[in-house]
A and B are shown apart, each in its own frame.
Chain A
Amino acid sequence: MKNIVRNITAALVSVICLGSCSQEFLDEVKPTTGVPVESIYESRTTAEGAMAGILRRFRGQFENAAGVASTDVGGLNSMFYARSLKGNDVISSNNWYGSDYENNNREPTYRRTTFTWDYPFFMINQVNNFIKQVKASTKIVEDDKNELLGQGYALRAFFYHQLVLEFSKSYNEDQNYPAPPIYKEPTVVPKGMSTVKEVYDFMVEDLTTAIPLLSEDRLGKSFVNKEVANAILAQVYQVMGKWDLAEAAAIEAYGGNVTSVLDAGGYGSGFKDNASVEWLWGSPQRPDQSNYYYLAPHAFSDHRSPGYYSAYVNSTFVSLFSATDVRGGVGPTKLFNKKSATLPSTDYRYYVSNKFSFTFSSHSPIIRYAEMILIDAEAKARQGNNGGAKTVLFALQKNRDANAVQSSNTGQALIDEILVERRKELFLENGIEWFDAKRLGKGMPRDGNQRLKGPNAGVTYDLQAHDLRFMLKVPQSEIDANPFIDNTVNNGK
């Protein structure tokens, strides 16, 4: 009996002890794969960790709602490259991005459409959280808060600009056209469509708020500073046609001294390093932070390193360059090369580009100073300042080509020359042809040795002025999950 009592007591004691310890027993475990939201905003340094994470998402695989990532939809660079393929200067074989090249990749269920919607909104939500938490932080001092918030506002505007460009008619075509919803705060409750004008007003507000908050300092070339914010603003004003403001913002961005931000000697070194003085803003990579084969345009356009070999160059575009232009020329060490000795010049594979050199640690440009210089030139020309425009334009041309001769064009001819210069300068980088055609309401006729041109099933492969195919349709997944957007949003698109 003694034994029995002893045993029961022992059993009870152990049960009771385990019971009383249980709350601590369960509380002891904590997540280790991440950090609680609040603790990230306890200092400027940790908040910069959140900013670094946002910038990291400029590149890399992006999973759809089903957890699937695809080669042609990952990061900002894939959006830029898809735009590049819609124009006349680049040719694509039938490979990844093949439907973008066909100007067909815009239906509500297509992954281009879903990605181009979900990805910028993903970034905007990250930024909205960042802004909210920085504002709410009691530990970060005011000056630091301002610099952090400035970066947040500028990035939010940048991604709204991408969205409105892709999903709506151009600002100059229809300011009341439905545009993607505006979110100023993080939420899981969706909103209805806005208008083009509302989005542009919002972007201008964000950017003009950001610029005074920012300084010229930053942690690296992928971070936003005052210059970058001005550059984004210059692009926005350029689309809006506010030329005096565009000129001022562009000059703020590049500093007004053309030659100090150009390096003709480095133009041929492969566009893979954001340390170049020419780069205002660019995403870096390194072997342990690589986008691997997702990196557009490098992995697709570089025919010297194993990749997709899917991008070729239109012969009419190659012929725009003089032999002494650092951006042109044909040969193994030049910016263009022939794919092989045997292909006829009518074959779409005749020319390839050597501009982007593909490795797993190649960087990708977002904005280069040259674009700001050309916005400055265009803005001056649009305001009738032909002389000023020509001076700025020629400073760039002369840097690129020692034999360049200053333009004698004025008015529209000068503007057209600047637009051509933009294509020559920014080839394959950010879909410059598409951007210009979209904002100016022009078409993009296809000629030369294009693989696909002319009629296609009742329309044409090339885009006409104000072509609806300048827009993507709103994704079905958004329509399905957003009670404020229904199928009619795609009517007439």
Chain B
Amino acid sequence: MRLKFKWIFTLLMLALSMQFSFAQEKNIKGVVTDDSGPIPGVNVVVKGTKVSTQTDFNGVYSIQAKAGDVLVFSFMGMNDSAVTVGASNSVNAKLTSASQSLDEVVVVAYGKQKTKSIVGSVATVGKDILEKQQATNVLTAIQGSVAGVNIISAGGQPGESPTIRIRGIGSISSSAEPLIILDGAPFSGNINSISADQIESMSVLKDASSTALYGSRGANGVIIITTKRGKFNTPTTVHLNSVVGVGSNAVKLHKLLSTDRLTELSWEAVRNVNQYGRGQAPALAGQNASNSLVSALGYNPYKATVPVDANGKLVTTDKYWDTDWEKALINNSAIRKENSIAISGGGENAAFSFSANNLNQEGALVNSNFKRTSVRISADTKINESLTAGLSVGYTTSTQNFPTQSGNSYQSPIQWIYNVSSIYPLYQHDDQGNEMFDNLGRKIYDYGAGDGDLNAVRPMMGNENALGALYNYTVRNNRDDITINGYAGYKITKDLSFKTTIGYQRYMLDNFNYSSSLYGNAAGVNGRITQNRDITTSINITNVLSYKKQFGNHTIGIDGIQEAYKFKLDRMYAQGEGFLPGVEVNDGATNPTGVGGTVTEERLNSYLGRATYNYANRYFLEGSYRTDGSSRFARDSRWGNFFSVGGAWSIKDESFLVDSKVISTLKLKGSYGELGNNRALNADGTDSYFPYQQLYNLGWSEMDYPGVSLGAPADKKLTWEKTASSNIGIELGFFNDRFKAGADWYQKKSIDLIYAIPVAGSTGNTTYLTNAGSLKNYGLEVYLSSVNVKNTNFTWTTDLNFSFDRNEVTSLTQDYIINGSKRWEVGKSIYDFWIQEWAGVDSATGKGQWYKDGVDTNGNRNTTFNYSEASRNYVGKSSLPDVVGGLSNYFKYKNFDMNILFNFSYGAYVYDSSYASLMTGLKDPGRPGSADLENRWQQPGDITDVPRLYQSTQDYASQSTRFLFKNNYIRLKALNIGYNFPKDVMNSIGVNNIRIYLQGDNLLTFQSHKGIDPEQSFAGTTNSRTYNQRLASLGFSIDF
């Protein structure tokens, strides 16, 4: 590599030195202006030299140059301008504002709008941001770049979609995810089928005026993804990009006790039970603990029959094995490779683009991966003066090895690490401790369900081995996703046009599960294959009639839109048992054990309209209306009406400010609207397509008799959730928008929440889905951007955005609702923890204590040793952060550039149940312990916060504030350092640009609570999820 650099630099120097010689130098003079007149202090440089000057107070400059030289004019907040010196001695330049606010166009609902005319709140993530991250799932790129969007990434499986909440959480039981629109049609596949380099922009629509046209699906915000297309009248360009990197866990796991210490402390946990619980004398208690230790563990890694003596000391540290499950299961050298090509261009009447992307990424677990190939083609034509048509076709195929990523199944690797200690071997050992081999001489994974009384039966996770599960089982997802979007536009008159758009998507998910015929949970039936094949087809048709007319200072626009949406989910599954080893297809089944399938449809029919008006580009008004009929609700309650109104006032354009040199933008805007949400969910988070019907569910047959089981009760009158959303915003710019700032205040009141209200279990159901309760989300979003330095050689810009989001229950159908670790009542947030309060360790007995209601005679709060007496209270802590945001800095020095993006969250709390499971006081034999158990209570008088070790049923680690931790963090989300080879050199070899870059994602994480990834869940709970990956990559791109 270094050699190559040297070579390139030599070439570079040669090229530079050759430029000298020829031509006569002369004195060039001129005036530099912008729209409002001459600009003082503009940098003028003769390109490729050190010759430079600045304009004076009148915008006048003079400089020595010769014909053919290029003069570069640059000024902060303005676009650079380059002018070639000709015969004349006078060169004037006119700079344009770098602020794109004037003419920049943003993708909005059913169309595009100029930034200036936007009355609502829309943020855009452009390709400039996407290019500087390795967003295997494009939605992750929104994190830290858009104010008011809270994102929690999905863990260590590449490509999984993050959880996204735009402006707080307005839904409880129904989906609070934003609606995703791809090229005009609702996207119904897996978003990981879209590769980031094929995207032109993502618009995040936040307020009512921007989302109202999505009516019944707009309440939780909308993300519009627009793919790249060719542009008319542009030369064909080719872009190649290649990036290779390596990934590891972004943060460290909880620190565990070593095998030796765990063994000794396990002895202590048993001894304590014998001594304090069973009343044995200390010496006898110790002796009995020594004797029973191995039988409780089931395994003995030590080369001594009784490894711990009666005083709790190991008699030997010599071991047959010492397992590091983390090392075995986690891939800390995961390779990521991505290659892409994009070709685009256009002539007078046709434009095209083609792109292809190939990705191969290993995940956080040793054999998890994601491989994706996607191709996208678009074509746009002007058939004649009034008729245009276009088509874009995307095809993506992907496969992923997707071992269990979270949860409490035996195959969940993180849970395994936190529940199976290093005392248990990876491979089978006999009762003498010797390693065992199969008939081919290979090691055999230890499944903990062997024959015998020692080193055979694990007391937890029996008949499973986490590493064996990764290699002996297969969980594979194959996906094929085709999207076709076509449009035809017809200009009926100069002002009236009609456009029809059809979006078609066919998405197939092939989920294949194989459990080994030899080992593990299906070995008893010689293996099992379950294969699910889900085919999702959706068609969306939109007809738009647009009228636009300008007369004088008045501009009006009216859109009438009709839309129909059809969605079909065709599910089929087959299951078989009894396979020969090595046979992993259902054809090999000796016993077909299951088959199933359903076809579910959903439909939506809608009429929409939008009217816009502006006066002199100074006053803007906009109104939209949508009526929706959804098949998710009963006939009488399925139609809903949604609307919004909004306005903006560009104060800058008033006569008293129009000439201001200081203020370049000043705009006030406001909007109000009412939106809906129809996306009711089942308890498992899947879509509920007929939530208003109580059904007898199929699939509960009793032997040969077909059986049905009554599902949860439903409200026949169930209807939309409605959200009333208000937004007030200000946009500010100074010095030609060199400094920009903006703020939006919003309030979203959601009523008639589709909510599965908890009902008493004695009624036979634990939930009842109905419209109940209301919520308020409100907050403030702020962004600041600044061009700190900008001259020919050096540029430095800073962008900061942050938001304060609050959530409040405003009404309920009952006094309060208890939901896990939260209690919802009017005036509180749904994210305020309401749990038992830990009162520390009693120094006399070492037992844990909790607070209970009331005070004693000294006014101190009552405490109890009995967990069931502990009272639950609001503990003044919320899982919702006080503030989240992002900070990015961009530096460019000559041909080097660097982009640094941090995202941060402050003020949230997380309940770490993984840590709790490590701090039980070794309640269950053989489970690992946190290194923090070293601080345990050991004898009366000890002052500590870690209770005594006690291997018996106890509640020291039951839910309480003991495991509620502050969860502040700052993450270096993306770092991109690049070098662009000099253009002139590249041009000479027929290349537009060559760039090499280093790209790092999640390189650094500073967090207040260590051991888990700070991004867990909005509810502030943990779920043994795999850890997010840190990626460090080297990339190369070339443009022809």
| B564 neighbours in A (Cβ, 8 Å) | 18, 22, 25
| A67 neighbours in B (Cβ, 8 Å) | 683-684
Which range contains the number of B residues in contact with the other chain? 35 or more
Contact B820 A66 (CB under 8 A): yes
Contact A29 B498 (CB under 8 A): no
Contact A122 B696 (CB under 8 A): no
| B988 neighbours in A (Cβ, 8 Å) | none
Contact B603 A28 (CB under 8 A): yes
Interface: B766 (CB within 8 A): yes
Assembly CA distance A129 to B706 (angstroms)? 18
Contact A35 B708 (CB under 8 A): yes
- For residue B1001, give the distance in angstroms from its CB to the closest CB of chain A: 32
Contact A94 B765 (CB under 8 A): no
Interface: A204 (CB within 8 A): no
Contacting A32 at CB < 8 Å: which of B276, B598, B696, B958? B598
Contact A31 B690 (CB under 8 A): yes
Among A50-58, A264-272, A320-328, the stretch in contact with B: A50-58
From 567 to 597 in chain B, residues with beta carbon under 8 angstroms from any chain A beta carbon are 575, 577, 591, 593-594
Interface: B11 (CB within 8 A): no
Interface: B543 (CB within 8 A): yes
| A407 neighbours in B (Cβ, 8 Å) | none
**Listed residue (A67, A94, A360) with the most chain B CB atoms within 10 angstroms of its CB:** A94
From 81 to 99 in chain A, residues with beta carbon under 8 angstroms from any chain B beta carbon are 93-95, 98-99
| A107 neighbours in B (Cβ, 8 Å) | 867-868, 955
Contact B696 A40 (CB under 8 A): yes
| A126 neighbours in B (Cβ, 8 Å) | 709-710, 764
Contact B762 A478 (CB under 8 A): yes
Assembly CA distance A284 to B705 (angstroms)? 12
Contact B696 A37 (CB under 8 A): yes
Contact B591 A287 (CB under 8 A): yes
Contact A347 B295 (CB under 8 A): yes
| B408 neighbours in A (Cβ, 8 Å) | 68, 70
Among A186-194, A230-238, A252-260, the stretch in contact with B: A186-194
Among B175-183, B209-217, B455-463, B467-475, the stretch in contact with A: B455-463
Among A113-121, A134-142, A146-154, A371-379, the stretch in contact with B: A113-121
Q: How many interface residues does A have (CB within 8 Å)?
A: 114
Assembly CA distance A190 to B814 (angstroms)? 13
Contact B593 A56 (CB under 8 A): no
Interface: A172 (CB within 8 A): no
Contact B707 A190 (CB under 8 A): no
From 442 to 496 in chain B, residues with beta carbon under 8 angstroms from any chain A beta carbon are 447, 449, 451-453, 457, 459-460, 462-463, 490, 492-493, 496
Interface: A301 (CB within 8 A): no
A53-B709, A93-B459, A288-B575 known; A34-B697 Cβ under 8 A: yes
| A98 neighbours in B (Cβ, 8 Å) | 924, 953
Assembly CA distance A191 to B605 (angstroms)? 43
From 380 to 437 in chain A, residues with beta carbon under 8 angstroms from any chain B beta carbon are none
Contact B953 A105 (CB under 8 A): yes
Closest to A180 in B: B762
Contact B698 A187 (CB under 8 A): no
Interface: A173 (CB within 8 A): no
What 1/0 flags go to A161-204 for Cβ under 8 Å of B? 00000000000000000001101001111110000000000000
Assembly CA distance A347 to B292 (angstroms)? 9
Contact B767 A65 (CB under 8 A): yes
Interface: B694 (CB within 8 A): yes
What 1/0 flags go to B515-551 for Cβ under 8 Å of A? 0000001011100000000000000000101000000
- For residue A98, give the distance in angstroms from its CB to the closest CB of chain B: 7
Among A208-216, A240-248, A303-311, the stretch in contact with B: A303-311
- For residue B692, give the distance in angstroms from its CB to the closest CB of chain A: 10
**Listed residue (A49, A183, A360, A482) with the most chain B CB atoms within 10 angstroms of its CB:** A49
Among B73-81, B629-637, B656-664, the stretch in contact with A: B629-637
A11-B543, A18-B562, A25-B603 known; A34-B702 Cβ under 8 A: no
A57-B700, A359-B524, A478-B762 known; A52-B600 Cβ under 8 A: no
Contact B543 A99 (CB under 8 A): no
Contacting B702 at CB < 8 Å: which of A55, A128, A190, A287? A55
| B959 neighbours in A (Cβ, 8 Å) | 109
Interface: B13 (CB within 8 A): no
Interface: B768 (CB within 8 A): yes
Contacting A125 at CB < 8 Å: which of B601, B630, B764? B764
Contact B449 A65 (CB under 8 A): no
From 13 to 68 in chain A, residues with beta carbon under 8 angstroms from any chain B beta carbon are 14-15, 18-19, 22-23, 25-37, 40, 48-57, 63-68
Contact A15 B562 (CB under 8 A): yes
Contact B763 A454 (CB under 8 A): no
| A473 neighbours in B (Cβ, 8 Å) | 868
Contact B761 A114 (CB under 8 A): yes
Contact A31 B764 (CB under 8 A): no
| B758 neighbours in A (Cβ, 8 Å) | 65, 477, 480-481
Contact B708 A26 (CB under 8 A): no
| A310 neighbours in B (Cβ, 8 Å) | 459, 462
| A30 neighbours in B (Cβ, 8 Å) | 690
A37-B694, A67-B684 known; A49-B705 Cβ under 8 A: yes
Interface: A339 (CB within 8 A): yes
Contact A339 B453 (CB under 8 A): yes
Contact B710 A188 (CB under 8 A): no
- For residue B857, give the distance in angstroms from its CB to the closest CB of chain A: 23
- For residue A214, give the distance in angstroms from its CB to the closest CB of chain B: 18
Contact A34 B759 (CB under 8 A): no
| B261 neighbours in A (Cβ, 8 Å) | none
Contact B761 A457 (CB under 8 A): no
**Listed residue (A22, A50, A306, A485) with the most chain B CB atoms within 10 angstroms of its CB:** A306
Contact A289 B924 (CB under 8 A): no
Interface: B278 (CB within 8 A): yes
| A276 neighbours in B (Cβ, 8 Å) | none
Contact A219 B525 (CB under 8 A): no
Interface: A488 (CB within 8 A): no
| B700 neighbours in A (Cβ, 8 Å) | 52-53, 56-57
What 1/0 flags go to B675-707 for Cβ under 8 Å of A? 000000001100001100111111011110111
**Listed residue (B277, B591, B768) with the most chain A CB atoms within 10 angstroms of its CB:** B277
A40-B708, A56-B700, A222-B702 known; A26-B449 Cβ under 8 A: no
Assembly CA distance A289 to B596 (angstroms)? 13
| A188 neighbours in B (Cβ, 8 Å) | 713, 759, 763, 765, 768
A33-B598, A52-B706, A125-B763 known; A307-B452 Cβ under 8 A: no
Interface: A317 (CB within 8 A): no
Interface: A220 (CB within 8 A): yes
Assembly CA distance A443 to B580 (angstroms)? 52
What 1/0 flags go to B743-763 for Cβ under 8 Å of A? 000000000000000111111
| A455 neighbours in B (Cβ, 8 Å) | 277-279
Interface: B654 (CB within 8 A): no
Q: A31-B695, A33-B697, A53-B709 are in contact. List 7 more A-B contacts (CB 8 A).
A: A4-B492, A7-B498, A18-B562, A49-B706, A53-B702, A53-B710, A306-B462
Q: Which residues of B contact A (CB under 8 A)?
A: 276-279, 295-296, 298, 408, 431, 447, 449, 451-453, 457, 459-460, 462-463, 490, 492-493, 496, 498, 521, 523-525, 543, 545, 562, 564, 575, 577, 591, 593-594, 598-603, 605, 607, 629-631, 635, 638, 683-684, 689-690, 693-698, 700-703, 705-711, 713, 758-768, 814, 818, 820, 867-868, 924-925, 951-953, 955, 958-959
CB pairs A–B below 8 angstroms (15 shown): A8-B492, A22-B605, A36-B696, A37-B696, A37-B710, A49-B696, A94-B924, A95-B459, A118-B766, A121-B763, A122-B761, A293-B521, A359-B525, A455-B278, A478-B761
Q: Which residues of A contact B (CB under 8 A)?
A: 3-4, 7-8, 11, 14-15, 18-19, 22-23, 25-37, 40, 48-57, 63-68, 70, 93-95, 98-99, 102, 104-105, 107-109, 114, 117-118, 121-126, 128-129, 180-181, 183, 186-191, 219-220, 222, 284, 286-289, 292-293, 303, 305-310, 339-340, 342-343, 347-349, 358-360, 454-457, 473, 475, 477-478, 480-483, 485, 490
